[in-house]
Amino acid sequence: MPFDLAFCSRYPFSPQARQYVEQAGLSLTASVVEKAEARLRLALESGRIKKVADLPDAWQEELAVYACARMIASAANNRYLIGRYAVAEAKRAGEYLAIDDSVRQDYVEAVAEGFGIAFQKEGRQYSIPFWQYLAFTPRSYDYKLSNRQLKGGLVKVSRHERLRILEEAVRKRMEATLPIKAEFPAEVKEAAGRLLALLPRLEPISSNVGQENYPPCIRKMIEDLSLSLNLPHTGRVALAIYLVNAGLPQERIVEYFRHAPDFSEKTTTYQIEYIRRRKYSMPSCQTMDSYGLCVADCRCGNPLRFRDRIHGAILRRLEAERKGKE
């Protein structure tokens, strides 16, 4: 059965594309390495990857460049780089999916099939088994299962949400399959070294409230960001509100978010300024729990009251011990 190179070049992560690369035995030329490095550099700098020219000659080269980019990312073996690259590849796939959803539904169905996702069309909407919904949806309050219509083990999603789920599936697969464990050619290692030199350097951050006094949910979000793990939008807003109230200046708060896989300094700066200007209130512990952000039973009612509660408990214990000795 002949391969559809147009499909493979648009969705190089697909099983069909992998089979083609294995059978074709594409060469790792200097041009391919150069373009693969440029692909990763663009992902780092802008969070985007350009779509390929719609020409047969470009389709085959695109597959070789994609395969080489994965090798370079693996040789670098840096979670920030891999996370940033995964987001960029997912956004590229999302752009193609949005186009093909109107003109090549068979392409969209093939992508879903490659992930084993069984969408069922129901009028203008779709349904998806709830276990697949939980596995592939973004970490967002809007996608919480408790907020969805569930019937017969199926979750209803809109046409747009269906494409967003597939985009998230691409990101998760990219992150799960990198780094590749292998010995790479010298030119691949050299390209990895040049990319590592571009990575941001995080400086120590100080505030009016020491990190040892941060509540567990805030510490967990900061730790996730330092590991280049993706935070849901609700988590980013809550963290920004907390840090603003902790007395951190604008540029310091931005530094916390710099290792996010989809970091944009312009967007992050604007959002923090907006939160500071509008004086957003910190979500309560109950709200944080509904967002899936609560990680401990602090019983402080609000993350901003965590420090006072902990210090108050210590003072009360010391006072009780003092009275017990009298």
In tens digits, the chain (326 residues) has pLDDT values of 468 999 999 999 999 999 998 888 888 899 999 999 999 999 988 888 988 877 777 888 999 999 999 999 999 999 889 988 999 999 999 999 999 999 899 999 999 999 999 999 888 889 999 999 999 988 777 788 877 888 889 999 999 999 999 999 999 999 999 999 999 999 999 999 999 998 876 554 444 445 557 888 988 888 888 877 778 888 899 999 999 988 888 888 898 888 888 888 888 999 999 999 988 889 998 888 888 888 888 778 888 888 666 544 444 454 555 556 55
Query: Hey, what are 255's tokens?
Result: 């530094």
Neighbours of 24 (CB within 10 A): 14
pTM: 0.74
CB 115 within 8 A of CB 136: yes
| Residue bearing tokens 């440029």 | 38
Beta bridge partners of 33: none
- Report residue 238 as tokens: 């809550």
CA 280 to chain centre: 25
Distance CA 302, CA 121 (A): 43
